[in-house]
């Protein structure tokens, strides 16, 4: 069976959806106080957390992550709200085996605030994108995308809820497909 690790920085709602459908080898967070760690504990999933500031530099931080991934023989790294830019040390070992979900229809609205950026731009739709991770910010090859319209009576909050609902549908579909081809 192929092994997946999920990386998350905060709440971990996408992790929860994934872990309820797939065996997750472990979750990693770059914040020791992230709620995703509580979710992992409740689901009986191993969890690790350490922060960049605990290391001499980003390369050392990423070497520690690579060691964890190799120790657990992880086949696919799934970023789910992981808010760090992946750098060369981690990419050198896992490029082509690391995916990310982004709450906008790329290349529209890359970066940390895709939902809010789309909302404030006044567009009539945005979406959700699953893509391979590369050295850029939300610039990797797109695997799948789905559009989410902004409805006439939407608030930012209702639009955000529908974006997340699409994430919860799309990400497991893509993961299932990728695992069948690894």
Q: Is 84 marked as a binding-site residue?
A: yes
Q: For the sheet containing 142-149, what is the strand order?
A: 47-49, 24-29, 4-7, 76-79, 98-102, 125-132, 142-149
CA atoms within 13 A on the CB side of 153: 0
Q: What's the maximum distance between 2 C-alpha atoms anywhere in the chain?
A: 50
Instruction: State the total domains in the chain.
Output: 2
One domain, residues 90 and 106: no
- Answer yes or no: do 111 and 164 share one domain: yes
- Tell me the DSSP string of 82-96: --S---HHHHHHHTT
pLDDT digits (tens, 9 = 90+) for 102-113: 999 999 999 999
Find the helix or strand (DSSP H, E) in which 67 lies.
Answer: helix 58-71
Tokens 């192929």 belong to 2
Answer yes or no: do 67 and 126 share one domain. no
> Catalytic pick from 102, 113, 131, 181?
102
The pTM for the full model equals 0.96
Structure tokens at 130: 């699953």
Q: Is residue 1 predicted with pLDDT exceeding 90?
A: no
- Answer yes or no: is 12 a known binding residue: yes
Q: Is 3 helix (H, G, I), strand (E, B) or coil?
A: coil
Distance CA 62, CA 55 (A): 9
Of the pLDDT bands very low, low, confident and very high (cuts 50, 70, 90), residue 167 is very high
Distance CA 172, CA 175 (A): 5
Domain match, 118 and 178 both: yes
Which domain range does residue 175 map to?
102-182
Taking the C-alpha atoms of residue 98 and residue 116, their distance in angstroms, rounded to an integer, is 25
Please tell me whether residues 114 and 143 are part of one structural domain. Answer: yes
Average pLDDT over residues 81-91: 95
Q: CATH code at 49?
A: 3.40.50.170
102 catalytic residue (yes or no): yes
Burial profile 93-125: b = 16 or more Cβ within 10 angstroms, e = fewer: bbbebbbbbbbbbbebbbeeebbebbbeeeeee
Known binding residue 114? Answer is no
**Is 1 known to sit in a ligand binding site?**
no
Distance of alpha carbon 77 from alpha carbon 74, whole angstroms = 7
pLDDT at residue 71 in the model: 97
Domain co-membership, 14 together with 90: yes
Residues 108, 18, 70: CA angle, nearest 5 degrees: 95
- To the nearest 10°, the Cα dihedral for 52, 57, 60, 64? 0
Question: Same structural domain for residues 90 and 1?
Answer: yes
Which of 46, 69, 94 is the C-terminal boundary of a domain? 94
Per-residue model confidence as pLDDT tens digits over 124-159: 999 999 999 999 999 999 999 999 999 999 999 999
86 is in an annotated binding site: yes
């Amino acid at each position: 069976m192929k092994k997946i690790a999920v990386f998350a920085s905060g709440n971990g709602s996408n992790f929860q959806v994934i872990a309820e459908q797939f065996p997750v080898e472990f979750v990693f967070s770059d914040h020791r106080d992230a709620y995703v760690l509580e979710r992992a504990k409740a689901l009986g999933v191993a969890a690790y957390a350490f922060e960049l500031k605990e290391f001499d530099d980003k390369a050392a931080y990423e070497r520690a992550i690579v060691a964890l991934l190799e120790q657990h023989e992880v086949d696919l790294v799934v970023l789910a709200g992981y808010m760090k830019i992946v750098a060369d040390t981690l990419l050198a070992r896992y490029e082509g085996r690391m995916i990310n979900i982004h709450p906008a229809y790329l290349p529209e609205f890359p970066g940390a605030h895709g939902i809010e950026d789309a909302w404030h731009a006044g567009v009539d739709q945005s979406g959700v994108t699953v893509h391979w991770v590369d050295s850029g910010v939300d610039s990797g090859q797109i695997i799948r995308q789905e559009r989410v319209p902004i409805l006439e009576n939407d608030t930012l909050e209702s639009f955000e809820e529908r974006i997340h609902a699409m994430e919860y549908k799309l990400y497991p579909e893509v993961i299932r497909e990728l695992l069948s081809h690894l």
